[in-house]
């Protein structure tokens, strides 16, 4: 599930740091701009997954135009929070489908597990 939040990127002494105004305590830094942006996406993903796994609703993202910067630049950072989920081990589930549908899927070399995962993610709006 892709999420987008505004961030403020700062430059200090040749390196960079990023803070997320909507997410208290979520920040990161790096030596180069590219490294900092990658780390910002990771920090955002880990922060949001932590909230989600703790049952805390994700805060609404502010509009970029509402962010006031004194000594930095407001930008959007994106992340795929599913990439940072911790409990990713596979679990077996028993399911039933019509025989004709199972035969058709097998004839087309479809993985029922993969199809079910994709369908659940779509239904849960997690794609």
From the list 6, 38, 41, 32, the residue with the least C-alpha distance to 20 is: 6
pTM for the predicted model, two decimal places: 0.73
Q: Is 36 in contact with 28 (CB distance < 8 Å)?
A: yes
What is the pLDDT confidence band of residue 38, given thresholds at 50, 70 and 90? Answer: very high
Mean pLDDT of 107-120: 89
Task: Report how far apart the first and last C-alpha atoms of the chain are (Å, whole number).
Answer: 5
Residues in CB range of 98: below 8 A, 6 or more apart: none
């Amino acid at each position: 599930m892709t999420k987008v939040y505004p961030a403020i990127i700062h430059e200090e002494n040749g390196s960079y740091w990023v803070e997320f105004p909507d997410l208290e305590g979520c920040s990161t830094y790096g030596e180069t701009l590219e490294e900092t942006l990658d780390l910002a996406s990771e920090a955002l993903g880990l922060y949001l997954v932590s909230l989600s796994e703790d049952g805390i609703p994700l805060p609404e993202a502010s509009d970029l135009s509402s962010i006031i910067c004194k000594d930095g630049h407001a930008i959007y950072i994106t992340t795929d929070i599913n990439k940072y989920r911790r409990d990713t081990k596979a679990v077996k589930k028993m399911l039933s489908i019509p025989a004709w549908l199972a035969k058709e899927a097998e004839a087309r070399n479809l993985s029922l597990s993969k199809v079910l995962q994709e369908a659940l993610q779509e239904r849960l709006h997690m794609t």
